[in-house]
Amino acid sequence: MNDKTPKYIHIKNRIKDGIRNGSIVDKLPGERVLAKELNASYMTVRKAITELEEEGILHKFTTKGTFVSNRKMSPKITRNIGFFLDEDIKEGISSPYYSLIFKALDKTVKKMGYNMLLFSDFNDLNPLKNQKKIDGVIICCFPRIEDKIQEINKYLPIVLLDNTAADKSIPSVTIDNYNSCSKSIEYLWSLGHRRIGFISGLLDSDVCRDRLLGYTSALTRLGIKEDKSLIFKGNYSYESGEKAGEYFASMQESPTAIMCANDSMAIGSMKTIRERGISIPDEISIVGFDNIEVASRVFPALTTNAAPIEDMVNKAVEMLLSSIDGKDIDYKHIILPARLVKRNSCIPANTQL
């Protein structure tokens, strides 16, 4: 041993070597145990660990211990990518939108030589309680679970889909929901519609807030006074779309067009509006969002905003694999535009009955 090199430096290097070769994966032994194993004083080990914490290689949790936090030094051990979809999401992986995400992710991940594992319980992602199963995870983020996501991010590379973290600390891929909805309202305005309703989704995320803001901002920009009675609060489900359709069909002066925060609600609203004897698009035009598979098959075929599923997934996987490999990510937050797909559910207002 070089006598001129402080002993704590040798201990730091021993710990780094252990992380690199995989003998130290998650939790370190206690400091007193390490001191005995390395024939060093407790304070020498403490100094080495403190410096490794300052360098971001280790992370200490009160009452729990010290854990590896620098993914650049950690070897890939699984070639598995996780996809986390909150169990509170209605229909889960069977939902029309998230089934598209799942299929595209599975295809892309396999092309890159990885397997994909689906999670809906955070306990299955917690490396403090379970053996590490994945190298990184793509998460459909919602604010109500952000604290849990931030905890997992201390141990695993993460990329978020749909929403961003509040502090923008985690890489993300999102849709330009504001401008996409705004352009849809401009399209309806160009068709002569001036009384335009909106069916929102859950207002607990940036996705729906931005879509609603795109709607209200476009009205203001186009000189249409906002009427709060024309906004129905849905929850993204087909059933809430049915209720919204009933609500708008029952109004003394129904809107001539309705913008919906997703296709499921749009299709649900079309059903009940027609049941009330109102013709689509002859009396009410409808616009959706997502371009789920059934959107082109309903009658009339639904005008909608096509979510850039493949681009979103490709970017998310590319960012995640770069993070797993310890590479810097050039653009940490990517926003992709949706594409307005014009079909038969919209016609000019002056041609409506």
Mean pLDDT (the chain) is: 89
80-175+310-335 shares its CATH topology with 177-307+340-351: yes
Considering the segment(s) 80-175+310-335 as one domain, its CATH architecture is: 3-Layer(aba) Sandwich (3.40)
How does pLDDT run across 72-97, given as a tens digit for each residue? 555 557 889 999 988 777 777 888 99
Considering the segment(s) 7-68 as one domain, its CATH architecture is: Orthogonal Bundle (1.10)
How does pLDDT run across 241-278, given as a tens digit for each residue? 999 999 999 999 999 999 999 999 999 999 999 999 99
Which residue type does 222 have?
A: L
Domain ranges in the chain are 7-68, 80-175+310-335, 177-307+340-351
Work out the percent of the chain whose per-residue pLDDT is above 90: 57
Residue 301 confidence (pLDDT): 98
Dist. CA 270–CA 273, nearest whole Å: 5
Contacts 24+ apart (CB under 8 A), 142-150: 142/86, 142/88, 142/204, 142/205, 143/204, 143/205, 144/88, 144/204, 145/86, 148/122
Residue 140, sorted as left (phi over 0), alpha (psi -120 to 50) or beta, turns out to be beta
CATH number of 177-307+340-351: 3.40.50.2300
